[in-house]
């Protein structure tokens, strides 16, 4: 990748089209422009709405019809559930790169997408009769794509896997991947794209070519690979190794969680009344937790969360409490112990984005309120529950943070939120070191941009109050369907809890 772009006079792919102007589509457009491609991009609405940011990276915003007509290849970066709206006749004979994945809550419950007999790319191919579909560019997180592109030969270059039925098409996509700054790894035919989907080890992988190949080679003996082989009559159905038989009584992969990994554990979730806190509580129940203690201010909201948790198979214990009240915080540990005894898992999710606005105009008392809820409360509650965890020799404390801790400049207008989340991560790593080798682990979790009531609240505010750039970005994420569903983020968090990580900052893009 050079500043002048490669010479592509001999290439069949000069104009790259992108359908979907959300996070993934924008990053791919940016990388392609930097690599010397002409890029056309279409979002879900009027091209004028995205024209300026696209022009800033060198891409041209236009309508879907022109993207399809004028492009040599079209990247799909739309929610998978919208694939049936793609114009079949217009795409007939076209070269399509499928970069989309199935997100359960965003796309709805879709048995066809969950069926292990078929990769989602094969479903897309069936719909796009006459098109040539290759699976690529969807198994790596958009932030890793943005940050980790490297020139060919760089020692820290990462890899992207591709799957497709046409050798010539695979060669074109391999060249594109290389131009974008990554080593291409051929996974196999389009059916092998299932190895790049959520639930497989390679999904979310940000690794070099050797490790990515190793992940693909391990797929047949993985939990997901065993399920796929069983569904396909005992073999994977594509040429990569041989599926090992599942051990008798082995856990079944349900497409959401890797088995009942947290059986008989007692968990506490703060901020459990709605949004991602509610989703985490349900995901813990899905994973086998015996009891989930639910903490939030609203008794009514906790009642609904309790209903969902019990539907998922766990006992729910709602405990209304205001974690911003120091007196209530001091007695909460005692209340929890009286309700359930020893606790195994604590997920500190409660928090606030307030106060928002220009840093110089913030009310100091509101800033102290945020510090109390976002930092003091998680530390104090962990301290209250730690003795029981340490006595039992096993405990998991997860503090829900935010990507803004790594990039405070990304949320201008939310400086207090950024500062407190950065402080929470520092406190997490400090406690991880302090309690190392006790069996109790401390990790932070960045849940991604989740579709919650907080998001709705920010979009409903006057842009002058929350910051115009932040307001525009969150509005665009919502309009383009690029917000993460709460259950997807929650399941990513819960997938880590059975492991032994300590002092880590987990990310929604990298489930365990």
Domain that holds residue 181: 15-207
Residue 379 corresponds to which tokens in the numbers above?
Answer: 């530390």
Looking at the structure of the chain, the number of domains it has is 2
If residue 104 lies in a helix (H) or strand (E), which one and from where to where? helix 104-107
293 domain residue, yes or no: yes
Write down the pLDDT at residue 474: 65
Work out the angle at residue 64's Cα, subtended by the Cα atoms of residues 62 and 69, and round it to the nearest 5 degrees: 95
219 domain residue, yes or no: no
Half-sphere exposure of 318 (CA within 13 A, CB side): 20
The pLDDT tens digits for 283-328 are: 999 989 999 999 999 999 999 999 999 999 999 999 999 999 999 9
250 domain residue, yes or no: no
pTM of the model: 0.52
254 domain residue, yes or no: no
Q: Are residues 393 and 493 in the same domain?
A: yes
Q: For residue 299, what are the contacts with CB-CB under 8 A and spacing of at least 6?
A: 318, 320
285 domain residue, yes or no: yes
Q: Are residues 183 and 45 in the same domain?
A: yes
Lowest mean pLDDT among 20-29, 118-127, 368-377, 406-415: 406-415
Q: Are residues 199 and 276 in the same domain?
A: no
Half-sphere exposure of 174 (CA within 13 A, CB side): 14
**Percent of residues, the chain, with pLDDT higher than 90:** 61
Q: Are residues 179 and 323 in the same domain?
A: no
Please say which residue of 207, 230, 256 terminates a domain. Answer: 207
d(CA 23, CA 50): 12
The pLDDT tens digits for 343-353 are: 999 999 999 98
Between the alpha carbon of residue 444 and those of residues 129, 246, 427, the distances in Å are 45, 34, 10
Q: Are residues 168 and 278 in the same domain?
A: no
The pLDDT tens digits for 256-286 are: 333 345 888 999 999 999 989 999 999 999 9
d(CA 214, CA 202): 9
Write down the pLDDT at residue 236: 66
Q: Are residues 185 and 304 in the same domain?
A: no
Please say which residue of 188, 207, 226 terminates a domain. Answer: 207
Q: Are residues 193 and 55 in the same domain?
A: yes
224 domain residue, yes or no: no
**Beta pairing class for 266-270 and 60-61:** unpaired
Q: Are residues 287 and 191 in the same domain?
A: no
Write down the pLDDT at residue 253: 27
Write down the pLDDT at residue 511: 61
Residue 4 corresponds to which tokens in the numbers above?
Answer: 């002048």
Torsion of CA 324, 355, 375, 257, to 10 degrees: 90
Please say which residue of 172, 207, 242 terminates a domain. Answer: 207
d(CA 404, CA 251): 36
10 pLDDT more than 50? no
Task: Residue 64: name the closest of 78, 81, 53 by CA.
Answer: 78
d(CA 185, CA 174): 8
Q: Give the domain CATH number at 340.
A: 3.40.50.720
Residues carrying an active site annotation: 417
Q: Are residues 390 and 460 in the same domain?
A: yes
Q: Are residues 303 and 189 in the same domain?
A: no
232 domain residue, yes or no: no
Q: Are residues 482 and 392 in the same domain?
A: yes
- Radius of gyration, CA atoms only, the chain: 24
CA 42 to chain CA centroid, nearest Å? 23
The pLDDT tens digits for 93-110 are: 999 999 998 876 566 667
d(CA 57, CA 54): 5
The pLDDT tens digits for 228-255 are: 887 777 666 665 432 222 223 332 223 3
Average pLDDT, the chain: 86
227 domain residue, yes or no: no
Q: Model confidence at 5, in pLDDT bands (50, 70, 90)?
A: very low
Which DSSP category does 375 fall into? I
Q: Are residues 270 and 202 in the same domain?
A: no
């Amino acid at each position: 990748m050079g500043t002048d772009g490669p010479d592509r006079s001999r290439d069949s792919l000069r104009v790259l089209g992108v359908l979907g102007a959300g996070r993934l589509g924008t990053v791919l457009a940016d990388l392609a422009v930097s690599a010397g491609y002409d890029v056309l991009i279409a979002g879900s609405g009027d091209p004028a709405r995205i024209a300026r940011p696209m022009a800033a990276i060198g891409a041209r915003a236009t309508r879907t019809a022109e993207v399809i007509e004028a492009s040599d290849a079209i990247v799909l970066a739309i929610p998978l559930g919208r694939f049936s709206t793609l114009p079949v006749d217009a795409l007939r004979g076209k070269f399509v790169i499928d970069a989309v994945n199935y997100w359960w809550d965003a796309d709805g419950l879709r048995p066809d997408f969950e069926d292990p007999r078929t990769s989602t790319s094969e479903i897309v191919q069936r719909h796009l009769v006459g098109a040539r579909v290759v699976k690529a560019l969807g198994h790596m997180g958009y932030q890793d794509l943005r940050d980790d592109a490297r020139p060919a030969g760089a020692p820290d270059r990462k890899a992207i896997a591709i799957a497709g039925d046409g050798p010539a098409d695979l060669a074109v996509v391999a060249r594109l991947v290389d131009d974008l700054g990554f080593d291409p790894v051929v996974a196999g035919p389009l059916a092998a794209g299932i190895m790049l989907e959520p639930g497989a080890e390679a999904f979310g992988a940000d690794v070099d070519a050797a490790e990515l190949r190793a992940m693909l080679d391990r797929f047949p003996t993985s939990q997901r690979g065993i399920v796929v082989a069983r569904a396909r009559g005992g073999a994977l159905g594509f040429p990569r190794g041989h599926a090992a038989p599942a051990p008798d009584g082995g856990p079944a992969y349900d497409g959401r969680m890797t088995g009942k990994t947290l059986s008989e554990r007692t968990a506490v979730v703060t901020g459990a009344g709605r949004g991602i806190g509610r989703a985490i509580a349900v995901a813990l129940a899905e994973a086998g937790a015996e009891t989930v203690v639910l903490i939030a201010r609203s008794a009514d909201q906790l009642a609904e969360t309790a209903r969902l948790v019990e539907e998922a198979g766990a006992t729910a214990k709602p405990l209304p409490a205001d974690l911003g009240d120091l007196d209530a915080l001091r007695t909460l540990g005692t209340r929890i112990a009286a309700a359930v005894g020893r606790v195994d898992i604590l997920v500190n999710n409660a928090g606030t984005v307030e106060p928002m606005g220009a840093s110089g105009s913030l009310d100091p008392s509101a800033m102290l309120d945020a510090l109390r809820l976002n930092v003091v409360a998680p530390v104090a509650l962990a301290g209250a529950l730690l003795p029981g965890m340490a006595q039992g020799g096993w405990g998991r404390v997860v503090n829900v943070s935010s990507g803004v801790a790594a990039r405070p400049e990304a949320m201008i207008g939310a400086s207090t939120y950024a500062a407190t989340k950065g402080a929470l991560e520092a406190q997490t790593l400090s406690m991880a070191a302090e309690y190392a080798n006790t069996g109790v682990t401390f990790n932070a979790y960045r849940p991604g941009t989740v579709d919650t009531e907080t998001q709705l609240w920010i979009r409903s505010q006057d842009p002058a109050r929350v910051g115009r750039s932040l307001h525009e970005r969150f509005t665009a994420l919502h309009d383009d369907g690029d917000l993460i569903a709460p259950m997807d983020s929650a399941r990513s968090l819960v997938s880590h809890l059975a492991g032994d990580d300590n002092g880590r900052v987990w990310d929604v893009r990298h489930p365990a």
